[in-house]
Amino acid sequence: MASLYDEEKVAPAGKNGFADAHDVGDGTNVDFATLVAVDHSHDIKLRTMSWKKATALLCGDQVCLAIMAQSWSLSVLGWVPGIVTMLAAGALFWITSYTMWKFIMKNPQIKDICDFGYYAFGKSKLAYEFTGFMLLANNILLIGFHILTGAKILNTLSDHSACSVAFAVIVALIGIVLSVPRTLNHVSSMSMVSAACMAVAILLWMVFAGTEAHPGFGYAGVWPLDGAQVVTRAFPLPGTTWVACMNAVLNITFLWVPQILFPTFIAEMHTPADFPKALAALAGLSFVLFIVPPAVGYRFLGQYATAPAFGSLGVLKQEKAVAAFVLVPTVVIGTIYANVSAKFIFGRLMGRSRHAYSNTVVGWGVWIAVMTFVWALAFIFGEVVPSMGDFLSLLGAAFDSFFGFIFFAVAYYHLHRGAFFAGFGRSVNTLVHVLVMAVGLFLLGPGLYAAVEAIIADYAGSTRPAFSCADLSF
């Protein structure tokens, strides 16, 4: 199986006399114009996205169901720690994403997060393989989460008219069909529809939460078991455990850390220098969507806030209306993660063969087989994991600590080594990236401990049986 580090010292001429991007040595003699020219000489052209299409893809990935889980985080942390965590996570997201882009501009041959890890850690084969494992583990579990969520939505919409496993199979099959396009340029079109549907769902949820007489359900029971009045707090309720607070923080950082996909997005832009435009649009949208709707939800749901928060609504018809619009982004976002995952496996299998970039029966056959494998494996994980919510906290601690923080602190070190304090601005930026590294290590240590403790607690109580037909309605 071919990989970037296996081919690094080989530089045969590609079509039109250009060296292929994966065959260039240290990247010093290649630029994006050359890589685009090589790519456009192939039958299947990947480097075709404009920054506007990239913006649509970014928004399609970020405007997701996890936004509706943030009201629960506020109910655990309270207004002050919750909003501060959201603002800090957003600021660090912008800074680390910009550092990531600058590092890729210095190393144009990077095509995914695995290549990023390879170069950031001194062209380490171990770093490449370890990052590849984290990429697949993270993405496949996330796809499994979206399959499970899709099954819950279909249960809710149909009043559990069929076995939940059957609904999960339906979602997985739809995902496979939508994942057939091999370029993210095509997927970005679906992302625009996905983001629009999620925006409608969020708007409906806020309107329903604000106009209904009282919430319907919370983790402490059906209204009014946890109090007839909705209560919000500035700080955590006395007696709230450190594990609960840490998992609420992980729930926030999970939403703000999508950078695992960004190198692949950049690699499929025809002008990667324009990525900051897409990043600025995404950051502006995220600051609004990741803070305002959760705050509105917490204001009207208070201690009854669940994750996702539309499960707290007291009127079933309103809950179904929101769930119907959530179904589209649930499948499309799974498709984005599947595309990135399948590209990594496909690239390892096909290497530099003509099947990797041409419309051949073998190429398309392997692509569809790999995509089917990714969704099938995700389906299994979605069915056997007892609590996907806590496992997402585990992902946030174990993987987002690297993909959202540690990787980019290391990249900053390489970008500015020997000139960390060259001026006031650079000095501040250096201190910020020291903080980035500290946050990453904190998530990897205490954060991982909290996530594991939550999973242990899940297994200690009643858990959802594997491949159960039980009603999974929200």
Domains of the chain: residue spans and CATH: 47-460 (1.10.4160.10)
Judge whether 251 and 68 are in contact, CB under 8 Å. Answer: no
Spatial distance between the Cα atoms of 382 and 376, rounded to a whole number of angstroms: 10
Longest dimension (CA), the chain: 74
| Among the listed residues 91, 438, 425, the one whose alpha carbon sits nearest the alpha carbon of residue 283 | 91
Residue whose tokens read 């080989």: 10
108: Cα separation from own chain's centroid: 23
Confidence check: pLDDT of 460 > 90: no
CA atoms within 13 A on the CB side of 58: 29
Spatial distance between the Cα atoms of 455 and 251, rounded to a whole number of angstroms: 14
pLDDT band (50, 70, 90) for residue 379: very high
> Would you say the C-alpha torsion 80, 94, 200, 60 has a positive or negative sign?
negative
Instruction: Write the pLDDT tens digit of every residue in 150-205.
Output: 999 999 999 999 999 999 999 999 999 999 988 888 888 889 899 999 999 999 99
Looking at the DSSP assignment, which residues form a beta bridge with residue 222? 217
Question: Is the model more confident about 390 or about 352?
Answer: 352
Judge whether 32 and 108 are in contact, CB under 8 Å. Answer: yes
Helix (H) or strand (E) holding 218: strand 217-218
Judge whether 352 and 270 are in contact, CB under 8 Å. Answer: no
Q: Token digits for 17? A: 């006399």
- Provide the strand spans (E) within 387-464: none
DSSP codes joined into one string, 316-327 = HHHHHHHHHHHH
Residue environment code for 234-268, b if the CB has 16+ CB neighbours within 10 A, otherwise e: eebeeeeeebbbbbbbbbbbbbbbbbbbbbbbbbb
DSSP 23: G
Spatial distance between the Cα atoms of 141 and 138, rounded to a whole number of angstroms: 5
Instruction: Write the pLDDT tens digit of every residue in 219-266.
Output: 888 999 999 999 999 999 999 998 889 889 988 988 898 899 999 999
Q: Token digits for 183? A: 């370029």
Confidence check: pLDDT of 74 > 70: yes
The top-scoring range by mean pLDDT among 295-304, 351-360, 381-390, 457-466 is 295-304
Looking at the DSSP assignment, which residues form a beta bridge with residue 49? 269
Residue whose tokens read 């494996």: 377
Per the prediction, the chain carries an average pLDDT of 88
Q: What are phi and psi of 258, to 5 degrees?
A: -105, 10
CA atoms within 13 A on the CB side of 130: 14
Q: Token digits for 326? A: 């959530």
**Cα first-last separation, the chain:** 44
Provide the pLDDT for residue 353.
82
Give the 3-state secondary structure of residue 178. Answer: helix
Spatial distance between the Cα atoms of 334 and 143, rounded to a whole number of angstroms: 5
Instruction: Write the pLDDT tens digit of every residue in 91-112.
Output: 999 999 999 999 999 999 999 9
DSSP 222: E
Instruction: Write the pLDDT tens digit of every residue in 383-434.
Output: 887 666 666 677 778 888 999 999 999 999 999 999 999 999 999 999 999 9
Provide the pLDDT for residue 461.
67
Give the 3-state secondary structure of residue 365. Answer: helix
| Beta pairing class for 217-218 and 221-222 | antiparallel
Least confident span in 5-9, 64-68, 252-256, 319-323: 5-9
Q: Token digits for 390? A: 């806590």
CB atoms within 10 A of CB 12: 9
Helix (H) or strand (E) holding 154: helix 125-158
Provide the pLDDT for residue 462.
66
Least confident span in 43-47, 340-344, 381-385, 454-458: 454-458
Q: Is the peptide bond before 224 cis (omega within 30 degrees of 0)?
A: yes
Residue 182's alpha-carbon distances to 151, 343, 352, 383, in angstroms, are 26, 8, 16, 27
Provide the pLDDT for residue 380.
93
Residue 5's alpha-carbon distances to 22, 158, 373, in angstroms, are 9, 50, 25
Average pLDDT over residues 304-320: 92
The pTM (predicted TM-score) of the whole model is 0.88
Instruction: Write the pLDDT tens digit of every residue in 259-298.
Output: 999 999 999 999 999 999 999 999 999 999 999 999 999 9
Average pLDDT over residues 334-357: 90
Average pLDDT over residues 439-457: 87
